Structure 1
């Protein structure tokens, strides 16, 4: 894709399934990748694999729920790789229970990771992007934000917040040359989905139900997501902002 070579990209949750696949794909396109993850070991593993393959990557341990920690990590990433051009808000967490069975402690953690975290990341990288009048922010939400999902009420609410945030920032900063877009995965074969299946009591039955519901006949894989993410980050999407794209094999077809 056009315009990704030598760009500096931060991917949060870069040590996980979708995050790792996205980091590798950016590196293959010639970008310099800052792998952000709360788990330093997984971040280092991904960055190391990229460098072994000839790419440029650095690992940064970062708790995105802590604004000061985000400031420190972003400063370190820019010192190592250069000014941040692309931010991918990918990190997320969920607890799979009916809303009546959740607790305020659950809500606080869900909101901290899935909404406050992206707010912190975007807030810290935004001033530099505005000064340079260039930047792409791609946030990974969920189709749960668009159509709902049983057992994910607060998660869905947070992800819906990401849609509203991205559209608003897209309007606020369009004339400064910045774009804000959202990718919404459907059911995807990640650790998060594995935890979701465990909460259902019958994981095999649930996965089979999802598979049958998806028109393409399978659960998504992490490698299905980077194409959409990199498209929004690339020069090919320079005139696209405030948009939401589902990557779900047709499970949802919201307009």
Structure 2
């Protein structure tokens, strides 16, 4: 995908990977509508980008899983910049540990990590099919390929996010619709750091599992890799190359991989 002259929407843009994607996209010539549930953080990030690149970015705070908010972000993008070419479903949540997650934790995780992607695709793909072009970027996680120690809600919904991205590519990839699935491991973001600093032993263990598994990248480093991968229309974007090797080991011998994960979990206690 060529970002020059494109119109993009980025969710979860109030910090971390989302804010980094916004910055790199506008630097590559895209115009962006950024959205996040946290209006204050979103405003701060967007103002910083707009100061460097005036007229390239708009903000609309709200819940990325709410279909009316998705409609509103699309409408804003169309009125400010033109038809949407790229939707980056980046927002994510990690709630609850082990089997202690509440029904509300599960519902929010399903809504934000999965259904937000589904609802955006439902609104955008029909128009993209008419135009013969469009790109959906799903931020999942290495947890969607390998499973996250600690959080059942995160692992299950990130697996679902990967599956939905795969389904989109299989179903519409031959009809002009591009799909990419971003699966990073450790990234220096508020989500990872909050786990490391949590009062919950399970949350700390989950964060430790990530940070000890490989390098912790900066969000802008991840965004650079995303930009390069979009240019070559790669589906699976793996900022941490180790994830591919881990995934191969898992696929080649599931029982051995499960035993190894249990040993790794025990080592973190």
TMscore range, shorter length: 0.7 to 0.9
Residue 222 (structure 1) aligns with = 219
Alignment of 1:5-84 (within 5 A): 5-55=4-54, 56-84=56-84
Distance 1:88 1:126 in 2: 13
Distance 2:128 2:21 in 1: 21
Residue 244 (structure 1) aligns with = 236
Deviations 1:13-58 (A, max 9, x none): 0112111111000111111011111222322222222221125111
> Following superposition, which runs of at least 4 residues in structure 1 exceed 4 angstroms of deviation?
202-212
Distance 1:202 1:97 in 2: 6
| Number of equivalenced pairs | 245
SS in 1 for 2:60: strand
Alignment partner of 2:228 out of 228, 231, 241: 231
Contact 2:37–2:62 (CA under 8 A) maintained in structure 1: yes
SS in 1 for 2:238: strand
Gaps of 5+ in 2: 249-269
Distance 2:73 2:210 in 1: 38
Flag the structure with more relative contact order, 1 or 2, with Cα contacts below 8 A and sequence separation at least 6.
1
Q: TM-score, normalised by structure 1?
A: 0.87
Distance 1:47 1:106 in 2: 29
Contact 2:149–2:205 (CA under 8 A) maintained in structure 1: no
Displacement after TM superposition at 1:210 (Å): 4.7
Sort the Cα spacing of 1:212 and 1:156 in 2 relative to 1 into closer, same or farther, 3 A.
closer
Contact 2:32–2:77 (CA under 8 A) maintained in structure 1: no
Alignment of 1:138-149 (within 5 A): 138-149=137-148
Alignment of 1:156-195 (within 5 A): 156-195=155-194
Contact 1:86–1:136 (CA under 8 A) maintained in structure 2: yes
Displacement after TM superposition at 1:93 (Å): 0.7
Residue 266 (structure 2) aligns with = none
Sort the Cα spacing of 1:113 and 1:202 in 2 relative to 1 into closer, same or farther, 3 A.
closer
SS in 2 for 1:161: helix
Sort the Cα spacing of 1:22 and 1:132 in 2 relative to 1 into closer, same or farther, 3 A.
same
Residue 102 (structure 2) aligns with = 103
Displacement after TM superposition at 1:201 (Å): 3.6
- The more displaced of 65-74 and 107-116 is 65-74
The alignment's C-alpha RMSD in Å is 2.3
Gaps of 5+ in 1: none
Distance 1:6 1:131 in 2: 19
Distance 1:213 1:177 in 2: 37
Distance 2:104 2:204 in 1: 29
